[in-house]
């Protein structure tokens, strides 16, 4: 077989874990493709297929053999290749033996660094059919399976018992064993609709054969599209809209090879419960799509999917309706029980939950967050009373039955229970929003109190975990501190809050240290090394750098701003915006170069830079002094308004005078008084540019 052919591999098994099906499928494809590339086998396209009972990979136009190639091996240096008597040395003879040849057949390799013995041989490429079995076995072994299982009397391991394996290259079966199974061209269809075996004639017929003969839709994305469309049609039939979340859509696609929609109903009395409770119950416990009205409110319907075309779909519907009722009844019970006690009455019980063994209980954390919220609200001229109240109640819904059953509803239930307790709406929303942003790209808190509480809670966690030495390393971040730091920054920047991140960190550290001081030496900063605050500040500014780079700023623009050490994230970004705009000006490159020159002159000077500027003799330096003093006066009100772009635009007007100065004036003159005055003039210029950023850091 010399022409390129399509390759198909399919592994059939017991039902695979639905939540990891796509991960396994993608990993299998990636592993096989990577191995084919390493083996220098060419192909034009690749595709993964996955259903509850199979993982498959299709490779289009896979080359029949590896390319032939010439391999050159380098041996000992020529001076080490001969003994004193001129005969080949042991090293040279050993190299010849390792190459399967004689010393006389060895060549010479000359380079700029010397000359070596060498051996060149032509290596014929191996046939694809010989390489593919090991590639597949290694790809399966490398799958990200948390826990493998064995079955029967075999020592073979996989995520589920494997039952068949297909391995076709063109119309030829590659005979081998995969997970102890002899490969063939026979697959299996739907477990109930088409249990008979299906023989595949060629790889490209795989998907169609399964669909037409086996009642199996092999393509996950195709099943997802079918499920999405069918769910919306079913919801439309009851005058609703299906509420479809991507995670659940993927899970349902991973549970069904032949998805068939079933519409069910539940007692409308349950609509009195919070919508999030009903949605979570339907999605988490039952894998149902909720149905909403056009106004976003829930209807007493749900959409589920069956893996068979039943002759009595009403029986499946009734069965699902019987199952959902006790689930909703439980949720109704939790709701009623929880409302018997107010959130305020649950505060003390937070003492029973350990936040972190060296940082005390959740009650201890609550008190720290209260103090932080008060501190932040004071700085922002916000309502301190609301901030403290929200901080006191923020974690109390952890003690409710509903959150105990549905952990993902923490914060959300706190809002509902706070409103039921007649707490201010701002407090109620802050309880939910203090977990925001929940993940990358999701919204930050919208309310002022929610923003304050979100920052306070995350700052306390961040500083506390650093204080006890549990600093993230590599990809290990069990307390999600990177996400917390980014959440703090996003909340401050995107809501335009003028507050110093350094002051927040120092405040949080000061109140944590007494409680955490028993942790042990080496974890808490000392005079001999960076303090906890220093470490956290560095950590947060690293996250800020990532945030800024993600938003289109460059590394040198970031370096220019961080050089002047702004402490407020919002102020930092405002300066960054100004620097980005400044570098687009025609004067930017010249002024950046001049600033570097000024900085170097001041650094190398053995004369103390004076604030006082004495007599200047050259016309160019006199003009520059007048211009510099005028710009210093002009930028003061701009800086007071934090209008950094206007400040840099004004300073850009100094370009011609700065260029003329350096063209005609020698700063380091022998006249000490004149040199001192000129250095003072440069110092005046340098200080002005450093009011916004160090533009000398900008690369040309």
CATH code (residue 503): 1.10.3210
Alpha-carbon separation of residue 146 from 17, 24, 142, 149, 452 (angstroms) = 11, 11, 11, 10, 40
Residue 40 placed within a domain: yes
Task: Identify the bridge partners of residue 277 per DSSP, sorted by sequence position.
Answer: none
The encoded tokens of residue 689 equal: 């540019």
CB 267 within 8 A of CB 326: no
Tens-place pLDDT, residues 514-526: 555 444 333 333 4
| Torsion angle in degrees (nearest 10) through CA of 369, 373, 379, 384 | -150
DSSP 603-661: HH-SSPPPSS-----SHHHHHHHHHHHHHHHHHHHHHHTT-HHHHHHHHHTTHHHHHHH
CB 390 within 8 A of CB 373: yes
Are 467 and 518 in the same domain?
yes
Residue 568 placed within a domain: no
Are 54 and 106 in the same domain?
no
Tens-place pLDDT, residues 570-627: 999 999 999 999 999 999 998 898 888 888 888 887 666 566 788 888 899 899 999 9
Are 289 and 434 in the same domain?
no
Mean pLDDT of 661-680: 88
Q: Quick one: which of 174, 195, 82, 196 has its CA closest to 128?
A: 174
| Torsion angle in degrees (nearest 10) through CA of 12, 15, 227, 330 | 180
Are 396 and 526 in the same domain?
yes
pLDDT at residue 518 in the model: 41
Residue 47 placed within a domain: yes
pLDDT at residue 514 in the model: 58
**How many structural domains does the chain have?**
5
Mean pLDDT of 163-186: 96
Mean pLDDT of 323-338: 96
The encoded tokens of residue 605 equal: 């000077």
Mean pLDDT of 667-687: 88
CA atoms within 13 A on the CB side of 686: 21
To the nearest 10 degrees (0 to 180), the angle between helices 412-420 and 425-433 is: 160
Q: Cis omega (within 30 of 0) on the bond before 590?
A: no
Residue 268 placed within a domain: yes
Quick check: 528 pLDDT over 90? no
DSSP 433-497: HTT-S-STTSPPP-SHHHHHHHHHHHHHHHHHHHHTT---BTTB-TT-HHHHHHHHHHHHHHTT-
Quick check: 22 pLDDT over 90? yes
Q: Quick one: which of 562, 588, 589 has its CA closest to 573?
A: 562
Mean of pLDDT over the chain:
92
Residue 573 placed within a domain: no
Are 641 and 614 in the same domain?
yes
Alpha-carbon separation of residue 260 from 287, 306, 307, 520, 595 (angstroms) = 14, 5, 6, 61, 70
| Structure confidence at residue 475 as a pLDDT band (50, 70, 90) | confident
Are 441 and 518 in the same domain?
yes
Residue 186 placed within a domain: yes
Residue with more model confidence, 615 or 417: 417
What range does the domain containing 77 cover? 69-123
Are 15 and 157 in the same domain?
yes
Residue 137 placed within a domain: yes
Tens-place pLDDT, residues 244-282: 999 999 999 999 999 999 999 999 999 999 999 999 999
Are 115 and 230 in the same domain?
no
Q: Quick one: which of 54, 48, 9 has its CA closest to 30?
A: 48
- Rounded Cα distance, 77 and 75, in Å: 7
- Rounded Cα distance, 550 and 459, in Å: 23
Residue 482 placed within a domain: yes
Are 359 and 478 in the same domain?
yes
- Rounded Cα distance, 111 and 198, in Å: 61
Are 324 and 359 in the same domain?
no
Are 23 and 138 in the same domain?
yes
Burial class (CB in 10 A: 0-12, 13-18, 19+), 26: middle
Are 677 and 626 in the same domain?
yes
pLDDT at residue 160 in the model: 96
CB 89 within 8 A of CB 33: no
Q: What is the pTM of this model?
A: 0.82
- Rounded Cα distance, 445 and 481, in Å: 18
């Amino acid at each position: 077989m010399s022409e390129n052919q399509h390759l198909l591999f399919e592994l059939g098994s017991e039902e695979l874990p639905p939540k990891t099906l796509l991960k396994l499928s993608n990993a299998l494809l990636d592993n096989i493709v990577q191995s084919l590339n390493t083996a220098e086998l060419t192909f034009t396209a690749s595709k993964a297929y996955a259903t509850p009972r199979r993982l498959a990979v299709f490779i289009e136009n896979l080359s029949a053999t590896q390319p032939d190639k010439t391999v050159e091996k380098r041996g000992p240096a020529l001076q080490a290749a001969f003994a004193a008597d001129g005969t080949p040395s042991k090293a040279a003879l050993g190299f010849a033996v390792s190459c399967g040849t004689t010393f006389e057949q060895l060549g010479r390799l000359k380079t700029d660094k010397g000359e070596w013995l060498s051996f060149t041989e032509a290596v014929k490429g191996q046939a694809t059919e010989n390489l593919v079995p090991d590639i597949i076995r290694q790809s399966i072994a490398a799958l990200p399976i948390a826990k493998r299982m064995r079955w029967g009397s075999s020592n073979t391991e996989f995520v589920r018992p494997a039952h068949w394996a297909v391995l076709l290259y063109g119309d030829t079966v590659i005979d081998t064993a995969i997970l102890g199974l002899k490969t063939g061209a026979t697959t299996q269809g739907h477990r109930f609709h088409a249990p008979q075996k299906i023989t595949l004639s060629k790889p490209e017929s795989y998907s169609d054969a399964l669909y037409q003969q086996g009642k199996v839709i092999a393509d996950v994305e195709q099943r997802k599209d079918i499920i999405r469309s069918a769910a919306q049609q079913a919801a439309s039939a009851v005058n609703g809209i299906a509420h479809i979340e991507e995670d659940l859509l993927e899970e349902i696609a991973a549970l069904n090879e032949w998805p068939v929609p079933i519409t069910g109903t539940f007692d409308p009395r349950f609509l009195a419960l919070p919508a999030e409770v009903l949605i979570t119950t339907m999605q988490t416990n039952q894998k149902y799509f909720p149905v909403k009205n056009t106004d976003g409110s829930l209807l007493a319907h749900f959409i589920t999917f069956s893996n068979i075309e039943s002759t009595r779909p009403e029986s499946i519907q009734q069965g699902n309706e019987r199952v959902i009722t006790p689930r909703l009844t439980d949720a109704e019970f939790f709701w009623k029980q929880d409302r018997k006690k107010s959130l305020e009455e649950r505060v003390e019980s937070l003492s029973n939950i350990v936040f972190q063994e060296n940082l005390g209980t959740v009650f201890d954390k609550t008190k720290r967050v209260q103090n932080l919220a008060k501190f932040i609200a004071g700085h922002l001229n916000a309502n301190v009373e609301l901030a403290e109240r929200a901080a006191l109640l923020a974690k109390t819904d952890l003690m409710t039955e509903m959150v105990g059953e549905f952990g993902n509803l923490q914060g959300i239930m706190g809002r509902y229970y706070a409103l039921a307790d007649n707490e201010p709406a701002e407090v109620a929303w802050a309880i939910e929003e203090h977990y925001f942003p929940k993940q990358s790209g999701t919204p930050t808190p919208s309310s002022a109190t929610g923003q304050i509480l979100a920052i306070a809670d995350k700052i306390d966690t961040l500083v506390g975990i650093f204080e006890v030495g549990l600093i993230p390393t590599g990809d290990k971040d069990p307390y999600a501190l990177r996400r917390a730091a980014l959440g703090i920054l996003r909340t401050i920047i995107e809501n335009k809050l003028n507050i110093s991140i350094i002051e927040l960190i120092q405040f949080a550290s000061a109140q944590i240290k007494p409680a955490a001081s028993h942790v042990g030496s080496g974890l808490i900063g000392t005079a001999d090394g960076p303090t906890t605050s220093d470490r956290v500040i560095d950590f947060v500014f690293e996250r800020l750098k990532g945030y800024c780079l993600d938003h289109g700023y460059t590394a040198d623009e970031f370096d220019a701003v961080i050089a002047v050490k702004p402490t407020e994230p919002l102020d930092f970004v405002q300066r960054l915006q100004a620097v980005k705009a400044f570098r687009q000006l025609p004067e930017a490159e010249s002024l950046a170069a001049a600033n570097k020159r000024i900085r170097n002159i001041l650094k190398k000077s053995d004369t103390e830079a004076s604030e006082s500027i004495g007599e200047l003799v050259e016309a160019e330096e006199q003009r520059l002094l007048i211009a510099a003093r005028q710009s210093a006066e002009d930028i003061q009100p701009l800086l007071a308004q934090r209008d950094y772009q206007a400040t840099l635009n004004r300073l850009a007007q100094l370009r011609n005078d700065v260029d003329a100065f350096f063209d005609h004036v020698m700063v380091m003159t022998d006249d000490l008084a004149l040199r001192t005055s000129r250095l003072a003039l440069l110092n005046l210029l340098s200080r002005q540019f450093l009011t916004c950023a160090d533009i000398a850091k900008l690369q040309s």
